Amino acid sequence: MATATATQTKTAGTVGLKQFIDGRWTQGTGKNEIRSVNPADTRQVLAQCRGASRQDALRALEAAQKAFPRWRAVPAPSRARIIEKVVHLARERKEELARILTLEEGKIFPEALGELEKGINLLEWYAGEGLRFMGHTAPSELPKNLLFTVREPLGIVSAITPWNFPWAILCWKIAPALVAGNTVVLKPSSLTPWLAVEFVKLFESAGLPQGALNLVIGAGSEVGDVLVEDERIEAVSFTGSNEVGVRVHALAGKRGVRVTCEMGGKNPCLVWKDADLELALAGIVKGAFGSTGQRCTATSRLILHEEVADSLVWQIVEFAGSLKIGDGLKPGIGLGPLIDANQLHAVLKWIEIGKKEGAKILCGGKRFTAEGCRNGWFVEPTVFDQVTPSMKIAQEEIFGPVLSVFRVRDFEEAVRISNHTRFGLTSAIYTQNLSLALRFIEESQVGMVHVNSPTIGGEAQVPFGGVKASGVGEREMAKEGILFFSKPKTVFLDYTGKKRESNIY
């Protein structure tokens, strides 16, 4: 088990953070101090602030409410132009922001840069959506009667975001909410508040009016509950764990407001015997160990055709052994730390459970404490073989670099195993056989399916999200993001100028 690491020290370099309410940076009035700590070296307190209280959350809501009439009156293309400015500002500061991301979250710098790029793509997409914030026209049954729809914002919305994509997820929730004319209260994870502050500053610099975007940083459920339960909130967009998501969904559902919850995954990758094995290997290790396995789209179950299983498994193990573990800002590092002690304990606990269940551990399985890594939350990349579908490690989301291997003989069995989980976020198949790929696309019970590419990732212009326990509510990104944050109004415009003889109504 992990032991306590060295004492954390605030230094002159520790950045002081504040809440952003009604266009002003203010001190929180909560009881707790929030600390952003470098997970690669927990002696470093990167940033800190006083947490937000319930009262602060209520003030943020009031600010959003006050700002709403003015913001919705701004034409959608002009709203979007502010996002366009954010795109430019973020591009200029991309490296610096990616560095903060690595320091605060731990993912290696090239991955942080990738996340920055993806977030900027999303901002860019939604800046364009401002010009397409449109309804449609329809032919009427009646002459001289115009039927059309316009889209309107919902009002005040809240966004509750996790630590593992502390930039991209903010982009894909906040940009569509604002472009559609809503005002927003954002609550980022208290583990990654620094990047959230930088994110909000970009909108401030781009000229977003006072109160349109508010930021409350708080740990625990005090602030989050207000952002789900307050009757002024018209929609809640949440990404995070299953337990919290189910609660958010139930609370918001009770009030009958819109809610989207993007939650866990237990994503399978199937490799058929005819696959390009080099390609498959690259996709598996990226999917399983990329972002230290801390992504809902991570590959956590590998279903191999038995003819290729042995050689592929040993190549994966070899790759895992060659991965350099350490501080993600250092060149050559391939695996960063887990986010915190809780996450480390949880991952190590799952590994113990796997061993007890009788899965065979091929590599990893322990905390990594080599020189230079003693003060961080590092874990070895871990591969379990001889996993059976009903084992807990085959069913529950681990959120760490832990891969479970299954061996199969026929395609039906492979599909059955891949669907044998309560989750349904993403899946992948490696094959050269077009009909097998198409059958997998059809039968895989997920929201996103990949052919000859890893289970991870997404692009701004296509919807992102899952089925079963992986998600409820509207999908995110793409057009769907705008649809979630807006509603249609249907207009019947009769220009006959006289009484009709029709009984159609």
Q: Show contacts with ligand UN1 in window 152-181 (CB under 6 A).
A: 162, 164-165, 169
Q: What stretches of 394-482 adopt beta strand conformation (E)?
A: 402-408, 423-424, 426-430, 448-451, 467-468, 471-472
By CB under 6 A, residue 423 contacts ligand UN1: no
Cβ atoms of 385 and 360 closer than 8 Å: yes
User: Which of 296, 379, 387, 415 lies at the binding interface for ligand UN1 (CB under 6 A)?
Assistant: 296
Query: Nearer to ligand UN1 by C-beta: 410 or 459?
Result: 459
Smallest gap from Cβ 470 to ligand UN1, in A, equals 10
By CB under 6 A, residue 295 contacts ligand UN1: yes
Rounded to a whole number of angstroms, the CA Rg of the chain reads 24
Smallest gap from Cβ 105 to ligand UN1, in A, equals 11
Query: Nearer to ligand UN1 by C-beta: 39 or 458?
Result: 458
Backbone phi and psi for residue 45, each to the nearest 5 degrees, phi listed first: -90, 110
Mark the segment that binds ligand UN1 (CB under 6 A) among 210-218, 291-299, 366-374, 377-385: 291-299
Q: Which listed residue (49, 171, 296, 363) is catalytic?
A: 296
Cα-Cα-Cα-Cα dihedral of 429, 433, 438, 442, to 10°?
A: -50
Smallest gap from Cβ 9 to ligand UN1, in A, equals 31
User: Per-residue DSSP letters for 250-296?
Assistant: HHHHHTT-EEEEE----EEEEE-TTS-HHHHHHHHHHHHHGGGG-ST
Strand partners, 235: 157, 258
By CB under 6 A, residue 473 contacts ligand UN1: no
By CB under 6 A, residue 343 contacts ligand UN1: no
Query: Nearer to ligand UN1 by C-beta: 402 or 456?
Result: 456
Query: Nearer to ligand UN1 by C-beta: 160 or 296?
Result: 296
Backbone phi and psi for residue 320, each to the nearest 5 degrees, phi listed first: -60, -40
* Residue 230: both structure tokens together: 């307050």
By CB under 6 A, residue 458 contacts ligand UN1: yes
- Residue 49 appears among annotated catalytic residues: no
User: Which of 36, 297, 404, 486 lies at the binding interface for ligand UN1 (CB under 6 A)?
Assistant: 297
By CB under 6 A, residue 187 contacts ligand UN1: no
Q: Which listed residue (262, 380, 397, 476) is catalytic?
A: 262
Residue 63, H or E segment: helix 54-73
* Residue 131: both structure tokens together: 């010009």
- The single-letter DSSP state of residue 208 is P
* Residue 207: both structure tokens together: 């000229």
Integer Cα distance of 34 and 44 in angstroms:
14
Query: Nearer to ligand UN1 by C-beta: 72 or 107?
Result: 107
Smallest gap from Cβ 244 to ligand UN1, in A, equals 12
- Residue 262 appears among annotated catalytic residues: yes
Query: Nearer to ligand UN1 by C-beta: 211 or 290?
Result: 290
Q: Within 13 Å and on the Cβ side, how many CA atoms surround 358?
A: 5
By CB under 6 A, residue 457 contacts ligand UN1: yes
Active-site annotation, residues:
262, 296
The site for ligand UN1 (CB under 6 A) is made up of 162, 164-165, 169, 239, 262, 295-297, 456-458
